[in-house]
C-alpha cells in the first residue's frame, strides 16, 4: 500500500510509521487526483498528531491547494474537521491560504467564524487577509453577519466592522 491508500483507509498508525521512515513521502501526490497526503488526511479527518507530522515533514504543503478541489489545507480543515484545534489552524493559516475559498464559497475567515473558532484564530485570519471581511459567502452573508449570528465575541465583531464597515 502507498501512503495515499493508508490515508484513504484511515490507517493512521501505518501512515505515521511510513512518514517517519520515508523522508519525502509527504511530497508525493496521489496518482488518482494529484492531491498531497496533507489534503487526503484532512478530508479523511486524520488525527491532529498525524496532520502536524505531515506539516512538519513538508511545511510548504500548507500553501498548496489540492489538485482535485483547488482548496488550501486551511479551508479543508475548516470544512472537514469537526473541531479543529487552534494550533493546527494557526499552522495552516498563511497569507496565501487565508485568501482561498472553499467549495461552499466561504473564505477561511467566514468558515472560522461559522465554526466558532477561537478569537485568536479568527483574528489571525483577519490580520492575514483584512479584505476577507468584505467577501460574502454564497448566500450573500458577510463575516460580520455570521459573527453576530453565532454570538461571537464583541471585540471580534468590532474588528470585523472596522475592517469592512
Q: Is the pLDDT of residue 165 over 90?
A: no
Report pLDDT for 141.
95
Report pLDDT for 1.
74
Set of cell numbers at residue 15: 501512515
Report pLDDT for 13.
97
Compute the chain's Rg from CA coordinates.
16
Long-range contacts of 3-9 (CB under 8 A, 24+ apart): 3/28, 3/37, 4/28, 4/30, 4/31, 4/32, 4/35, 4/37, 4/40, 7/37, 7/40, 7/41, 7/44, 7/46, 8/40, 8/44
Amino acid at each position: 500500500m502507498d501512503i495515499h491508500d493508508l490515508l484513504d483507509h484511515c490507517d493512521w498508525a501505518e501512515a505515521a510509521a511510513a512518514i517517519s521512515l520515508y523522508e519525502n513521502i509527504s511530497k508525493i501526490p496521489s496518482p488518482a487526483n494529484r492531491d498531497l497526503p496533507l489534503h487526503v488526511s484532512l478530508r479523511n479527518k486524520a488525527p491532529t498528531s498525524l496532520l502536524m507530522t505531515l506539516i512538519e515533514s513538508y511545511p510548504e504543503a500548507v500553501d498548496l491547494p489540492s489538485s482535485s478541489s483547488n482548496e488550501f489545507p486551511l479551508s479543508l480543515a475548516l470544512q472537514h474537521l469537526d473541531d479543529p484545534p487552534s494550533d493546527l489552524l494557526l499552522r495552516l493559516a498563511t497569507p496565501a491560504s487565508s485568501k482561498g475559498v472553499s467549495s461552499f464559497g466561504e473564505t477561511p475567515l467566514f468558515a472560522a467564524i461559522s465554526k466558532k473558532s477561537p478569537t485568536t484564530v479568527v483574528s489571525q485570519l483577519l490580520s492575514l487577509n483584512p479584505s476577507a471581511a468584505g467577501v460574502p459567502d454564497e448566500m450573500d452573508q458577510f463575516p460580520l453577519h455570521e459573527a453576530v449570528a453565532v454570538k461571537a465575541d464583541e471585540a471580534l465583531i468590532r474588528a470585523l466592522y472596522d475592517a469592512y464597515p
